Structure 1
């Protein structure tokens, strides 16, 4: 393994060569021993001695076989997809070979879209930074479920000036520091991406925090590295990503609320990949129905007009919750069951646990979202859809934040992990917890 630090710079050099060369010079000014790999992902060929990976090399990596005229005739959207494909292939190869320790870019909306698409395909914890004109607005479409760092450029990236030079200089120092720290950890065998303990993912929301905390502490006390994912859409996608990367050995998917936002149109929606990664990988998992009593919107005046007469609850000034109906809960149960049933390669290592006395802190008796008909519709559809699927459904006379429930569900996952998914306590179809 080389001891040299290398940083990749990816950009559209046909439009911003001057700015990228300045970024390169600032990295080298910070530390002249750093190897800078400049990757050209622009539309047109650019000739410069500082370019390490030429545009035609990126095109070749994308599988594009046309000539320059064919490239010029591509619609802008197709061109960007082509360059993203090639640049991603180049960056992944460099990263897998440990030939780079960080990646950086700069640009407007187009350049940011291209660079962020490439960076999202690199592993979590690998340093990624973009100086962007869009970094002060909603960056969710660029960052996704990854750990891309975005720095606002303040001024447009169109020619050098005092402000842009200062911002780019800061970014150069930041990415150099990130690369050095990452290389040091990796070469000492201390990489954050290679924990010595088995990893377990847990999904959490504010209204399921008490139960999740108890389960987390139980698992930590039994030697697990626990990753808690806030179920805000990106949180669920991040957990699915780590599962696909093989970093998790078990999942307590206690808070599946993102499916409610996906169904109804809330602000914390997941996508169709939710609830599939563990199932496809055969990773032991226990799934529950935490916070499926609610759909999330922004401030109360942003709730869509067609929902204004529904049961609403102001969680805080920025978040308004809407109670799901029996009809919506019926469909949510079907979606959970179908995604598990259709994707589980080891159904014996998956169970669905149903807390019969409340699926969130505000769905228990006496709270504003208590609705027995809606809960029953959810539970019934899950049980019906999973009949004959080989996936146990466990019913518990408890609410989801009960400490005994939380310890029981954590222990059950532990059993799955240590026995490689082979079931033991088959009498668990209905759990009786001690009274506290």
Structure 2
């Protein structure tokens, strides 16, 4: 078939499993190579790309990897692997196997690969929280069920399924679609769905609309694509991940949320979507200091907490400082009628005073210019008029952009 795949793991402990995967893929016609990321320094006859070759890709050389400290050696080998994969342009897919250490070593390099490049990770920890390993990428995690410690009746089936999953990704035909429309990113939560759905309907004739669920990884994924140049503009209606960052919720996108505005010169229309809520898991997971706050059970797994006026002011200042560093044209809309479906008259999170504190902090922090503007809107974020205004502002910013060369 002409496809090349890398099979990554530690040959000193998992050579049998790595060879099993390689044989399955080669039988199917894939040029499969074993990449050894063992940190013991011993040569492995099974490896097509030995650990010494991987380690040599480290910016400080192999001696920075082969040190007498396992934790440090794993971290340095992970950096070397990232550089090895970045230097190769002949890799069509990647499969890795490992326990907690191997998963932490291999997945950073997988995350650096482009979205759409097949990536499969067979791991002992894939039935738990995989967010630290998958991040904003499209890694397929498969739970190994048994430990990755030899071949048995279970591991043969699991590893075989993983090999065939990668084979299917490599060989399956994806229908070709003419990508003649520029791609743009939109952020959405359940409580801002009406707004974003109206916007995508209005924008779809002119743009390829990529909607991201604002659950932490969604915001990071959107901004990763924007930073790579794959998105030509952002309609960031749902900045709720900032709530979870500052107040300790479970859907934080981290301190770097909105940093893409300082990195990429792209049109940005944003808003305060769902800044009225912090997300926690079940009620029992709420920190003690929050137990008496205004709460709403979204479902048995998600409990929402209403943000206070003081917290809204804090978020307004945090977001405002990020907006001040924006390189491209920017409009940030303030929906005075409410920032989510729960923040409306008669709804459990309706709190005009808290919203007012958010808007006031933004206006006090953002240094407005003709290119960087805050706009107060008399509507609720899910009102048709609000969506129409956001779309109109975005069209105006995009029409002012210089034509792409060629």
TM range (shorter): over 0.9
Instruction: Tell me the C-alpha RMSD between the 2 structures.
Output: 1.9
Alpha-carbon distance in structure 1 between the residues aligned to 2:311 and 2:120: 41
User: Which residue matches 1:40?
Assistant: 36
Gaps of 5+ in 1: 423-436
Q: Does the 8 A contact of 1:59 with 1:83 survive in 2?
A: yes
User: Which residue matches 2:48?
Assistant: 52
Q: Deviation string for 1:147-180 (max 9, x for gaps)?
A: 1001111111111111111111111111112122
Matched, 1:10 2:45: no
Q: 1:176 aligns with which of 167, 176, 179?
A: 167
Alpha-carbon distance in structure 2 between the residues aligned to 1:406 and 1:321: 25
Q: Does the 8 A contact of 2:216 with 2:253 survive in 1?
A: yes
User: Which residue matches 1:411?
Assistant: 392
Q: 1:236 aligns with which of 213, 219, 223?
A: 219
SS at structure 2 position matched to 1:62: coil
Q: Deviation string for 1:52-72 (max 9, x for gaps)?
A: 2221111110123365xx755
Q: Deviation string for 1:18-47 (max 9, x for gaps)?
A: 111111111122x1x311122111112444
Change (3 A) 1:149 1:244: same
Deviates more, 1:48-57 or 1:79-88: 48-57
Alignment coverage as a number of residue pairs: 402
Alpha-carbon distance in structure 1 between the residues aligned to 2:235 and 2:402: 14
Q: 1:394 aligns with which of 375, 380, 386?
A: 375
Alpha-carbon distance in structure 1 between the residues aligned to 2:402 and 2:260: 16
Change (3 A) 1:90 1:169: same
Gaps of 5+ in 2: none
Alpha-carbon distance in structure 2 between the residues aligned to 1:244 and 1:195: 19
Matched, 1:290 2:281: no
User: Which residue matches 1:165?
Assistant: 156
Q: What is the TM-score of this pair, normalised by structure 2?
A: 0.94
Q: What is the TM-score of this pair, normalised by structure 1?
A: 0.88
Q: Does the 8 A contact of 1:259 with 1:269 survive in 2?
A: yes
Matched, 1:367 2:363: no
Matched, 1:62 2:58: yes
SS at structure 2 position matched to 1:120: helix
SS at structure 2 position matched to 1:42: coil
Q: Does the 8 A contact of 2:122 with 2:162 survive in 1?
A: yes
SS at structure 1 position matched to 2:333: strand
Alpha-carbon distance in structure 2 between the residues aligned to 1:249 and 1:106: 36
Q: Deviation string for 1:92-115 (max 9, x for gaps)?
A: 222xx2x11100011111111111
